[in-house]
């Protein structure tokens, strides 16, 4: 006589099958070395982005952008999509302007000029009245 009933054998087969299937489908974790330079670059990028966003979030900057017909949310999304090089260059220009005695209005005007140039190149369509330059 068998020690296990047919129900127990069927349950054992089902559990074995499930364990084998789960074993084949699990994902493996992969580790990689991250250099200190990469971490510092990520932190600098995050800092540059936050610095620019905080400058553009000041009440005077928001008021100036609104007066010029630029939606601050669009500017926020543009800043979020900037690359590290663009952020670094932009923040450097802003710091140079501030060193010369400029205020937040200068930053807003710089953003406005960048948006107009992007509209002229056809990259964005923030100002519908501006027709893109035909590069054909």
How confident is residue 132, by pLDDT bands cut at 50, 70 and 90?
low
Please say if the pLDDT value at position 99 is more than 70. no
pTM of the model: 0.47
Q: For residue 129, is pLDDT > 60?
A: yes
pLDDT at 27: 64
Rounded to the nearest angstrom, the gap between the alpha carbon of residue 123 and the centroid of all alpha carbons in its chain is 18
For residue 4, give every residue at least 6 positions away whose Cβ sits within 8 Å of its Cβ, in sequence order, or none. 12
pLDDT at 2: 63
10 Å Cβ neighbour count for 103? 13
């Amino acid at each position: 006589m068998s020690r296990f009933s047919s129900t127990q054998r069927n349950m054992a087969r089902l559990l074995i099958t499930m364990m084998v299937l789960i074993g084949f489908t699990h994902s493996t974790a992969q580790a990689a070395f991250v250099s200190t330079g990469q971490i510092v670059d990520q932190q600098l990028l995050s800092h540059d982005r936050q610095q620019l966003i905080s400058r553009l979030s000041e009440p005077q900057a928001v008021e100036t952008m609104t007066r010029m017909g630029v939606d601050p949310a669009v500017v926020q999304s543009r800043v979020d999509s900037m690359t590290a090089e663009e952020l670094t260059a932009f923040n450097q220009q802003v710091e140079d302007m501030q060193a010369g005695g400029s205020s937040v209005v200068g930053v807003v005007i710089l953003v406005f000029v960048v948006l107009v140039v992007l509209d002229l190149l056809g990259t964005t369509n923030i100002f519908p009245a501006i027709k893109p330059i035909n590069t054909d």
